[in-house]
């Protein structure tokens, strides 16, 4: 899922078509960065420990891809198509190579890692709940028949929308957030002075039994009776909220819908062992990947 979403991001946002070997290399580098980021660094980065050297190698691989995107952005005119975003970043940075790299790198990471994580958990939840998987397959067959999904089909995939909402509720890729307290207040009986950095967990809030019946169970049907409209503000916030609301929500939801629909039409994923516990890294990732068996979907 990570290699797939990196490829989609490269082409859709930056107009760069990555070859299979490039996708494999960047996928390994990003995976390494996520593993290294899960643990705090005890020594300054310039100390040549094995971990620091691994980090430097992974970053150099990612930087090569970003440099390729930036170079492509510097060529050609403004056509409003794929690659226009990178060209606007390059123009707005005024030739500052570090700023260009940082902005493209942030978009590259943010637009693929969270989606890959959400897709991985969704596939596993579907495999562990065959009745849900059958209902989703029936919806896909009814809406699409045998043709590939298109943009106009997404709004008609109402059960998939419930499946995705429930997957993001149980395993939100962004599992923790922080905010600065701009004025003194009281939260849960605690005095919070102005300027305090407050942390909160999407993962915990979205499993609160006050808002969700059977909070630890995968029940997509809960979203089919208008639950989203009845919930208190911020009881469900997989894409954050307020001024820091995720700008990529619509892109991510569309991407996930088309990916799941395309794959689930032809393939069925099944579990190969017990579900992996989540690792609270930058995103909520499966501890050791998500090993699954891919098979053909039986006709009918």
Q: Is residue 244's pLDDT more than 80?
A: no
> Residue 141's pLDDT is what?
95
| Cα(65)–Cα(60) distance, integer angstroms | 9
> Residue 108's pLDDT is what?
79
Name every residue whose Cβ is closer than 8 Å to that of residue 264 and which is 6 or more positions away in sequence.
126, 136, 137, 140, 297
> Residue 72's pLDDT is what?
67
> Residue 83's pLDDT is what?
65
Provide mean pLDDT across the span 222-226. Answer: 95
The per-residue pLDDT for range 37-69, each reduced to its tens digit, is: 666 667 777 788 888 888 888 888 888 877 877
| Cα(80)–Cα(109) distance, integer angstroms | 22
- pLDDT-derived band at 6 (thresholds 50, 70, 90) equals confident
Compute the mean pLDDT over every residue in the chain, rounded to the nearest whole number: 86
The angle formed by the CA atoms of residues 32, 37 and 239, to the nearest 5 degrees, is 105
| Cα(14)–Cα(23) distance, integer angstroms | 15
**Bigger pLDDT: 135 or 53?**
135
Sign of torsion over alpha carbons 174, 253, 70, 32: positive
Q: What is the pTM of this model?
A: 0.85
Q: Which of 57-71, 75-89, 103-117, 230-244 has the lowest mean pLDDT?
A: 75-89
At 261 the three-state DSSP class reads helix
- pLDDT-derived band at 78 (thresholds 50, 70, 90) equals very low
pLDDT > 70 in the chain, percent: 93
Q: Which of 105-109, 150-154, 233-237 has the lowest mean pLDDT?
A: 105-109
> Residue 247's pLDDT is what?
82
């Amino acid at each position: 899922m990570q290699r797939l979403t990196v490829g989609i991001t490269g082409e859709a946002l930056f107009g760069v078509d990555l070859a299979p070997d490039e996708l494999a290399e960047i996928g390994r580098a990003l995976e390494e960065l996520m593993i290294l980021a899960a643990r705090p660094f005890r020594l300054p980065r310039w100390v040549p420990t094995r971990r620091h050297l691994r980090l430097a190698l992974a970053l150099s691989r990612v930087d090569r891809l970003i440099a390729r995107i930036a170079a492509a952005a510097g060529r050609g005119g403004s056509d409003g198509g794929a690659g226009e975003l990178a060209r606007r970043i390059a123009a707005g940075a005024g030739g500052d190579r570090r700023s260009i790299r940082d902005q493209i790198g942030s978009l590259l990471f943010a637009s693929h890692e969270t989606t890959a994580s959400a897709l991985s958990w969704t596939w596993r939840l579907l495999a562990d709940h065959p009745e849900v998987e059958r209902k989703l397959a029936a919806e896909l067959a009814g809406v699409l028949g045998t043709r590939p999904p298109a943009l106009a089909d997404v709004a008609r995939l109402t059960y998939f929308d419930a499946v995705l909402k429930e997957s993001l509720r149980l395993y939100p890729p962004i599992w923790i957030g922080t905010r600065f307290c701009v004025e003194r207040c009281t939260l849960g009986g605690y005095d919070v002075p102005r300027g305090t950095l407050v942390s909160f967990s999407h993962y915990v809030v979205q499993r609160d039994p006050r808002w969700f019946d059977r909070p630890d169970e995968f029940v997509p049907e809960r979203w089919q009776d208008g639950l989203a409209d009845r919930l208190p503000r911020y009881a469900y916030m997989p894409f954050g909220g307020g001024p820091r609301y995720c700008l990529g929500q619509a892109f991510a939801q569309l991407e996930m819908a088309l990916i799941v629909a395309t794959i689930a039409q032809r393939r069925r994923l099944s579990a190969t062992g017990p579900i992996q516990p989540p690792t609270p890294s930058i995103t909520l990732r499966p501890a050791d990947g998500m090993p699954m068996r891919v098979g053909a979907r039986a006709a009918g």
